[in-house]
Amino acid sequence: MGVFECSKKELALAEQTVGLQLYTVRDETARDFKLTLRRVSEMGYPAVEFAGYGNIDSKDMAALLADFGLRAAGSHVALAALEKDIEQELNYCLDIGCTYVIIPWLAPELRQSEQFLGLAARLNRLGKLCKERGLVLAYHNHNFEFVQQDGKYLLDTLLDATDPELVKLELDTYWAAHAGVDPVAYLRHYSGRVPLIHVKDMTPERSFTEVGSGTLDIQAYYKAARESGTRYYIVENDAPTIPSLESARRSLEYLQENVLP
């Protein structure tokens, strides 16, 4: 087990938690990872999702999370990294108390329907290894997974070909909406299989903005996700146009004031 062993009571409290995808503040973590974690905690985020660890040892990262009162909601780990040394990646997650191991992106050569069946077998294998260690594998989408081939979304092809007990979905609501797909309907269709969602917002020009400042129905997404059993609501802004920590703060404040119970 990792250094964070959670009781049933603690796990219950962890449900339906807001976190920040640290990719949002990657300029800050590149300068000072520790200070950025402290600032994210101070603005009120109870959890973070990793996109790299800033060359910090897992034991030291666990100590930082404990010091700042932060939970590791998940970690984005490249498919190549998992297949190269899955034990190293899983051990790090266990050390920091991170349950969800998320594949964040797919190389262009794997984005054809004929490739997705082979990919599904690879994800099932990785998901089984995760499950054996008490962890959960998930796949994070962009917009290209909603291209239709043979009358079916690529993402549906992947999800249908993977074992729901081994491979979950982290639905990026922004990218689904960007592709013309209703995130609410998608969440309901895969109810129980989406433990995390990415919460973003979109300008009328279809670019990124702070949650609550754009055109997307954030309240409807939250309601559908909650009804579908989602545990973590991960704020992200892929390309902030204001200082990244300020972007993260504004998104959290909107959720606290308008969405969260």
Q: Which DSSP string corresponds to 169-221?
A: EEEEHHHHHHTT--HHHHHHHTTTS-SEEEE-EE-TTS-EE-TTSSSS-HHHH
Q: Write down the residue that tokens 């297949």 correspond to.
A: 83
1 within domain boundaries: no
Q: Are 63 and 33 in contact (CB under 8 A)?
A: no
Evaluate if residue 5 carries a pLDDT over 60. Answer: no
Q: What stretch of H or E contains 130?
A: helix 113-132
- Chain segment 21-58, per-residue pLDDT in tens: 999 999 999 999 999 999 999 999 999 999 999 999 99
Angular region, 44: left φ>0, alpha ψ -120 to 50, beta rest: left
In angstroms, rounded to a whole number, what is the distance separating the alpha carbons of residues 188 and 195? 12
What mean pLDDT do residues 6-22 have? 61
Type of residue at 182 = D
pLDDT tens, position by position, 108-151: 888 877 788 899 999 999 999 999 999 999 999 999 999 998 88
Q: State the total domains in the chain.
A: 1
Is residue 35 one of the residues assigned to a domain? Answer: yes
Which pLDDT does position 92 carry in this prediction?
98
Helix axes 244-258, 33-42, angle to 10 degrees: 20
| Token digits of residue 216 | 């997307």
Does residue 121 form part of some domain?
yes
Q: Does residue 57 belong to any structural domain of this protein?
A: yes
Residue 114 domain-assigned (yes or no): yes
**Start-to-end C-alpha separation, the chain:** 32
Residue 3 lies in a domain: no
Mean pLDDT of 239-249: 98
Query: What was the pLDDT predicted at 9?
Result: 31
Whether 2 is covered by a domain: the verdict is: no
On average, the pLDDT of the chain sits at 93
pLDDT band for position 15 (50/70/90)? low
Please check whether residue 72 lies inside any domain of the structure: yes
**Segment 9-30 mean pLDDT:** 78
CATH number of residue 23's parent domain: 3.20.20.150
pTM: 0.92
Domain that holds residue 21: 8-258
